[in-house]
Amino acid sequence: MSTSPEIANSVILSVEMFIVLSPILLLSFGIVLSLLLIAWRRSQKMIALFTQFILLTTLLLTLHLLSGDLLVGSGVPITTLLNVDRFSYLSLVLICFSALAVVSLSRSVLKMEVEVHDEYYLLILLVALGAGILVVSDHFASLFLGFELLSISLVGLVGYFREHKHAVETGFKYLILSAAASSFMLLGIAFIYSQTGNLSFAVSSNVMPWSAQPLQVFNSVGILLLFSGIAFKLSLAPFHFWSPDVYQGSPTPITLLMATVSKVAMFTVLIKCCFSQNYFNNESFIEIITLVAILSMLVGNVLALKQQNIKRLMAYSSIAHFGYLLIVLTVSSMQNTEFAWQGALFYLSAYLLANIAIFTVLLISEKNKGDMSGDRSIDINDWHGMFWKNRLAATLVVFSILALAGIPLTMGFVGKFYLLNQAVIFESWWLISGLVIGSGIGLAYYLPLIFTLFKDEKTLEIQEPVGTRVYVVTTGKQLFMLTLLISSLVFGIFPDLVSQFIYR
């Protein structure tokens, strides 16, 4: 019995779609298995190892598919909701790596707790799944589904340790921020749909025949509201209020989860949406992007100058860095979008690596401070003379801070060079000025933090009380920090290793 060519082609396409979507399906299947595992036996060690296994397997599977030939051209569409391309997979690699680091760091925190925290790891998997849906979204419905899955899971994680000092306040504030972001985004999507009649990112010319004309009022308001909702999650100015409070009050691994997984996913879907619908052709939208970018660069860096708490400092630093990243949205034509993607992913990689390194050392500092169940705040003064206590941790912080500051021979410098080149191509001199001025202001709080690490050992002995703990680090964390340090050095000196992988 022969098979018609149409049926054969549909079967091949379905198999291809299944293979391409397999990392997201693996995360979903891992969540179901986690629920069954919890129902069968409540074991914190077992669920932690299983969560690490799922994330590591997803990471390796994504890397394997990236090396193949499935993802060519504009990607593989899966119904009208999803479109999986190479850039989506690259973002998923960053998400899985960050989530894997968060789970590994969380194990030492949860050992201090009496209760069995199976749900904690389940929520992290849900965050990773929500982020994965976001980066492959090609439709406003899938965007909102991934956004809500990500946000609701993070709300539970932010206030998870309810006995901590600021747990209730932090959870409430993040809930309000997420609700505001959802409201703005949903209303914006409704306005866009009222004018286009389509919820897909790639709106065709026959759906929106006036696309060559200036955008109508409702469509413009809808785009503005949609961008505002995403800006809440990215903590862009002037949508950044309460973000430093949430950073400070959340458990350190969850703060890292918000700073990396959540923001990588939201920025990726912002780029996909803007490039798919050619928003860069609208002068009003580009003016808004330019204004928010410059405001974020200046506000983030200026407000960070007086911060003493490390988490709050990293929060304001994040505001500035995503202000820099908005430069990639100012492309002049569709031909420049691949270079913009390359610059954005390289900068996100540098930002992610630096944040994981700093929060790893921050977690070690909290543990050695002996205040894991209280305020747990680490100030700059707590890092005085760290180089004389733990040279590996101090060296890792130094290279991470230099990368965030954009000093040469670091990934951060190469990332800022990409952004600067993008702004020059677009001839956006205001963005170039904001990038240069913001980076200069950033040095005013980055460099003193580095100097603090090398405070004179003799002065340290006089000022510190007798019996102060040294920085005790397990062998596993030492290997993890050494890996981060080597990666920072290699990718900073040889950035082509990352660039060629992204652009291949």
Report how far residue 423's alpha carbon sits from residue 286's, in angstroms, rounded to the nearest whole number.
Answer: 12
Classify strands 82-84 and 76-78 as parallel, antiparallel or unpaired. Answer: antiparallel
Whole-angstrom distance, CA of residue 322 vs CA of residue 175: 22
The CA angle 375-378-383, to the nearest 5 degrees, is 155
What are the tokens at 279?
């928003």
pLDDT of residue 113: 63
Give 324-344 pLDDT, tens digit per residue.
999 998 876 666 788 888 889
CA distance 76 to 354: 32
The separation between CA 421 and the C-alpha centre of its own chain, rounded to angstroms, equals 23
Please tell me the predicted confidence (pLDDT) of residue 206: 38
**178-195 in b/e burial notation, b at 16+ Cβ within 10 A?**
beebbebbbbbbebbeeb
Contact between 312 and 306 (Cβ < 8 Å): no
If DSSP codes are grouped into helix, strand and coil, which group holds residue 16?
A: helix
CA 346 to each of CA 92, 263, 438, 484: distance values in angstroms, whole numbers, following the listed order = 14, 14, 20, 16
- H or E element that contains 77: strand 76-78
3-state secondary structure 118-155: HHHHHHHHHHHHHHHHHHCECEHHHHHHHHHHHHHHHH
Which portions of the chain are predicted below pLDDT 70?
A: 1-13, 69-74, 112-116, 203-215, 332-335, 369-376, 456-474, 504
What confidence tens digit (pLDDT) does each residue in 294-307 have? 999 999 999 999 88
Coil, strand, or helix at residue 83?
Answer: strand
The structure tokens 């860096």 sit at: 301
Q: Cβ distance 294 to 431 under 8 Å?
A: yes
> DSSP code of 468?
P
Record the pTM. Answer: 0.90
Spatial distance between the Cα atoms of 179 and 67, rounded to a whole number of angstroms = 39
| 429-453 and 310-325 helices, crossing angle to 10° | 160
Tell me the residue type at 109: V
- Find the helix or strand (DSSP H, E) in which 425 lies: helix 411-426
Closest listed residue to residue 147, CA positions, set 281, 284, 262: 262
Which residues fall within 8 angstroms of residue 25, CB to CB, at 6 or more apart? Answer: 18
Q: What is the pLDDT of residue 213?
A: 47
Distance (Å, whole) CA 255 – CA 237 = 19
Amino acid identity of residue 427, one-letter, is E
pLDDT at position 6 = 40
Structure tokens at 93: 């690699």
* d(C-alpha 273, C-alpha 258), whole Å: 21
